Every structure is written in C-alpha cells, then in structure tokens.
Structure 1
Amino acid sequence: MMAAPAQRRRVYLMRHGSVTYFDAAGKPVLPETVPLNEYGRAQAAAAGRAFAAQGLVFDRVIVSGLPRTVETAGRVLAETGQRIDLEEWPDLVEIRGGKLSAIPDEALHEAFTGAFDGMVAEHKRFLGGESVAELMDRVFPALERLRADPSWDTVLLVLHGGVNRAILSYALTGQRLFLGNLAQAPGCINALDVGTAPNDWVVRFSNYAPPAPLHPDTRSTTMEQLLAQYLKSRRIPLQNK
C-alpha cells in the first residue's frame, strides 16, 4: 500500500503596510527607519482581522527587523489576540538601493523599475545598489533554514515586495528565477504550502489585500508610483514609458 504523503505546512507571506518614502517635495526618507503611514496601519489591521476571522494561529512570526515589518506584524497580532515574540531575520530585509542622487536623470526610470520588470536577470541592480543575485543569495538560504526546522506548522512572514517576489518565484518555478512582475500590494497576504521534497510548493493565493482585494484603483506598480514621487525633487516631468 502506498504511504500517504506528508502533511504540508503553511506559510503566510505578507508585505508590510504602506509607508511614505518621499515627502511632498519628493525628497527621500531614510528607508531603514520609515514607519507605516495611516493607510499602512489600516492595511495591517485589516490583514489581522482577516486572519482572526478564520481563527488562524501562528507558531512563529518572522520579520526582517525593519520598522515597517515590525509594526505591521504587531498590528496583525493585536487583531488576532495572539501573544508571540517576533523573530527578526536581517537576511530577509528588502533589496537594498544605492544613492539616488548618484543616478543620472536619464537612468532613473530603469533604476526604479528595471529590477521588477518581467523575468529579471540576476545582474540587474535595484536603484544602483544591490543586485537581484545578491538578494537571492541571502533570501534562499534563510528560506531553507526555515524549512529545515520541524518545530512549526503555520508561520507568518512579514517582509518586503522584492523579498516576497524572490520567495514566490522560487515556489512557483522551483528554480533560481526572479519574476519581477508578481504584484505585491502594501499589506498583502500570500499563502504557500510547503512539503518535505525540495520543490514541493503549492501557492494557494497571492497578493490578497484585505482593504481592497480586487485592486480596483491600481493600474501602476509600486515602483512607478515611487518614481513619480521622486521626480518632484528633480523637477522632471513624468513621461509615459
């Protein structure tokens, strides 16, 4: 008689809630310290209520350690009523950008959007900083370390748009690929089931954003929106690409 397959475990993968990376004049805010804005706090609370409505309980909650992930996870847990210590994994921080002022005007569009455009080459750099290869080099070992720990059944990861794309790309393809056009709205939830075999991943759903699950008002990407905000500081008119 054939043995029943081992029970898969559940990974709930969130992106942090909305933040304000640029002020009204387009000047950048230090991304390592930026907190959730008002809408981001509402998104995090809405995600928490979605989990609470299903009676979900997490064995572990892992964040990158950046304030926007810590605050999002805290607001989610406040809605679920679960008391659990957050684990900070610095190797899961967002892909790191370079110095914006060093990017020439004509290269801004590619610098902002190139790392999230289709199937992205590993050498591609985000805002002149970290490459996609460097991102995957730290995210994938962390993911394997989590999988190797048998102590959990349901885990909540509260991370970032680029990091989430790396994880989802691997789960969908079983390969070292980066699918940049996998949308990750602020405060969104993804659900992945993972088994014991290396490529045993099942993506249950992706980019579920509780305040607006059908995304009726969104046609541009996060990086396109951020580029439009930053161009104000250089007094450059936005052009359709």
Structure 2
Amino acid sequence: MRRRLYLMRHGEVAYFDADGRPVPPDAVSLTADGVRQAEAAGELLAGVALDRVIASGLPRTMETAQLVAPRSEIEVWPELQEIKGARLSSIPPDELEETFVHAFRGVVPLEKRFLGGETIGALLDRVVPALGRLVADEAWDTALVVAHGAVNRAILSWALTGQRIFLGHFEQAPGCVNVLDIGDEWIVRAVNVAPLDPVHASTRLTTMESYWAQYRGP
C-alpha cells in the first residue's frame, strides 16, 4: 500500500510594507487572505486522518499548520525552511528585476544563488535528506508537510525525477496543496491545488512576479 503526503505552501504573507520596503522574511505572519487560504485548506483536508504534521518552524508555516490541523501536534523541521536570499541592497539595481522575476525559471542550475544568497544546490542538500528521513520512517500512513515555495519545488522535482534537479516552473500559490503518494516509487497526484481559487482565475503572475510588483510599488 502507498502512503500519502500532503505537501502545502504556507498562506499568503507580505514581504514588503506599503512603501515597498522589505520586512524580515523569517518573522512575517499570515495576512488576512493567508488565514482564509489556510482555513480553506483545513476544510479541504477535514476528513483526512493525519498521522504526522510537519512545518518548517517559521511563523508563516506554523500558523498555517495550526489552522489546517488544529488538533495535531506540529513537528518542527528547520531543514525545510525557505531558501535564503541576500539583502536586496547587495544586488546591483540594474540586475534586480531580472534576479527577482527569473529566480525560478526552467531547470535552475544548482550553483544559482537565490536573490544573491543560498544556492539551489545548498537547498537540495538539506531538503532531500529531510525528505529521505520522513520516507524511511514507516510508522505513518498520512502526513502533512507545510513548507515554502522553493522547498516544495525541490520536493516535487525529486519525486518526479529522483535526481538533484530543481524544476522551477512548479508554481506554488499561497496556501496550495500538493498530493503525493509514496510506495516503491513516487506518484504525483496533484500539484498547486488552491482551495479558494482552484482554476487560478485570480492571477496569471508567478509568485516572484507578484513579489516584484509589490517591491516596485504602484
């Protein structure tokens, strides 16, 4: 029998204030829309018996996990924290838009740095072993992992290829749910299911394009 992994991205947060100034990414909380997205995911998974609930430990994943699975104990796995960028001020102004908008385009090279910070290879170096540790524990049947956009891309890429490849075009909407089964091989059943917007009618922007628009301002 296959085991089931529900892989979520946290609900919406605001990484920039009203003036376009960055706020510390490790401290941001869910916005009102983010809370609604998490609550909708909770309704979607309400009939699912979860043996384990895992979050990265950053406030946005903890808040999301608590709303989705309020009666579950949440395990904190720091290895699943989001890829780390550098200070935006360290990126030359004429390269900033390209760095933002093209951060997750195509098959992303392992040596590429996210916003001048952590490399894709370094992200895989911590996410893939954590995923292996979860899979190796056969004591659970159904698990929920609440993580981040880049982390989820890394997990989905590994599930599809079994290789250290990062497929950047796996868009991950705020509060989305991915459904994966684990047996002799990985089965990817659903990707980027947004409970409040299942056909993604609200936007055609990528996540990074949306962040660039917030940073640039009106």
Alignment of 1:196-215 (within 5 A): 197=184, 200-215=185-200
Report the identity percentage.
59
Q: Aligned residue for 2:68?
A: 76
Establish whether residue 58 from structure 1 lines up as the match of residue 50 from structure 2.
Answer: yes
Structure 1: 4+ residue segments shifted above 4 A? none
Establish whether residue 12 from structure 1 lines up as the match of residue 6 from structure 2.
Answer: yes
Establish whether residue 110 from structure 1 lines up as the match of residue 95 from structure 2.
Answer: no
TM-score by length of 2: 0.97
Establish whether residue 43 from structure 1 lines up as the match of residue 37 from structure 2.
Answer: yes
Alignment of 1:1-241 (within 5 A): 7-52=1-46, 55-78=47-70, 83-195=71-183, 197=184, 200-232=185-217
Amino acid at match of 1:170: W
CA contact (8 A) 1:111 1:125 kept: no
Find the structure with the greater CA-based Rg. Answer: 1
Q: Aligned residue for 1:3?
A: none
Q: Which runs of 5+ in 2 are unaligned?
A: none
Counterpart of 1:167 in 2: which secondary structure? helix
Deviation at 1:71, TM superposition (A): 0.1
CA contact (8 A) 1:15 1:159 kept: yes
The 1-side partners of 2:56 and 2:172 are apart by: 16
Cα RMSD, aligned residues only: 1.1
Q: Which runs of 5+ in 1 are unaligned?
A: 1-6
Name the count of aligned residue pairs: 218
CA contact (8 A) 2:5 2:145 kept: yes
Amino acid at match of 1:165: R
CA contact (8 A) 1:169 1:178 kept: yes
Counterpart of 1:120 in 2: which secondary structure? coil
TM-score by length of 1: 0.88
